[in-house]
Chain A
């Protein structure tokens, strides 16, 4: 196949995938710029005008921020940021220990850690509520952050990665007289940046999408997070579609913007791998 044709085909495939990814959101973005009464006007029956924000208005965004969505986003960033930071340390340390140290019952404990994330949250929400209220954390930010820090899946992710790192690195550093903390910090952490990003994303998105738990744990609703804030756009009889879509656009953009600067850790040094040829 001539290279030009190959390249064209690759681009076509990529563009097609990107189109499927974007299309539903494109419509949501446009709808967020329409007045609420006009959201469905060009859909039943469908006209191509549905793909254009007409009539155009910024009302939805004004209303979103008048509802205090700025604070809500800041709250969620705080909760998700804290969880991610603490979670990387706590789960990273545990993964390191599981990968490098031997102790009796290790595989059993590791097994339980992995299984602990396999139960649906709905099943443990009520007992967890009792635990957290006995701790006196109801309506405190701690109720949102602390239970989510330790994460069996994240431990497993770190364990898997640290296990892959050749043991020679560790032994060599030991011979030079370095302590375990120093080895972790100067040998393992730099190697594990992509894993940290994956684990961090997991912890962050978990909080970004958290809904049932914040409703239960913060009953006074003085401190709202995004999904709880967005639920208020749908009440018993009506839905503020344009605001819902506007908020969806904002909440989709934030994780994306946070991931963009991290991309360089992914793409560097990959010239030789993959299917490029």
Chain B
């Protein structure tokens, strides 16, 4: 590592840092500031930490926090594991793979709202999936309107939409692993499973860390499917915190409470991401 001339540093860092400062950091600062205000009878009033203190006794907030944690506990490992499996299949050189690779890429270009619209029709009580299950004598299931199913239906939709996208990052990471290492291990008689666990995964660690951090962030902040499909119901079973914040701010016009919720959510997210960095970012070279 070397010390560098200041002009060079400015030249390389300034565009990105300036952009982030003006279009991210400054608006974020304003948003944090907003969480210290409240609206009373049309007047904007400084409230200090009242918005936060009110959350402590807010039953809806705590219930929603539980839903958020459960949702993320399931969806993040699921998406990363499936994306990894898909990535390993994607790089195989089998006859006909080119065609399948194409199919794997389909969900990337479909925006989440459109994916939700399509999946809603698939999952309706009278929809596509129940119709098909009905032919074999099953159902009908209330995928979106029963408290037992709704959250899992949303997980399924977000996973369908997400895994191709994360797969691309993991495929990129696999590309960075020198083929010679795998080849050497194969010649030494390591089974495919051994090579996966002892070579591929350790060497893929930086990419896995990236995908995990990015994916968990996106899922913590995800609320479009809830907004479009269940409105947080039935019985609050899909009411994730970000939806609670969205409703507070944009439906109820209570920006102070909304920002306070967002700040709590991001704080929680930071703790989880910090733990992931601890666990995953040690040097990945020991696998040799």
Contact = CB atoms under 8 A, between A and B. Distances in A.
The short answer to whether A and B are in direct contact, CB under 8 Å, is: yes
Interface of A: 7, 10-11, 13-15, 17-18, 20-25, 27-28, 40, 43-48, 50, 89-91, 93-94, 96-98, 100-103, 109, 112-120, 122-124, 127-128, 130-131, 146-150, 152-153, 155-157, 160-161, 163-164, 167, 180, 194-195, 197-198, 201, 205, 208-209, 211, 226-227, 230, 244-245, 248, 251-256, 259-260, 263, 265-267, 269-277
B169 A198 contact: yes
Interface of B: 1-4, 8-9, 11-13, 15-20, 22-28, 30-31, 86, 88-94, 96-98, 100-115, 117-119, 121-122, 126-128, 130-132, 134-135, 160, 164-165, 168-169, 171-177, 179-180, 182-183, 186, 191-193, 195-196, 200, 206-207, 209-210, 213-214, 217, 221, 242, 245-246, 249-250, 258-259, 262, 266, 269-270, 273, 284
A94 B249 contact: no
Contacts of A150: 15-20, 23-24
A102 B3 contact: yes
A197 B93 contact: no
Given A255-B108, A276-B192, A277-B192, A10 B94 contact: yes
A119 B23 contact: no
B179 A119 contact: no
Given A17-B86, A150-B18, A25 B28 contact: no
B186 A194 contact: no
Given A27-B128, A270-B93, A21 B103 contact: yes
B191 to A, nearest CB: 7
Contacts of B107: 21, 25, 252
A122 B196 contact: no
Nearest to A156: B210
A107 to B, nearest CB: 11
Contact of B28 (A124, A149, A198): A124
Contacts of B195: 275, 277
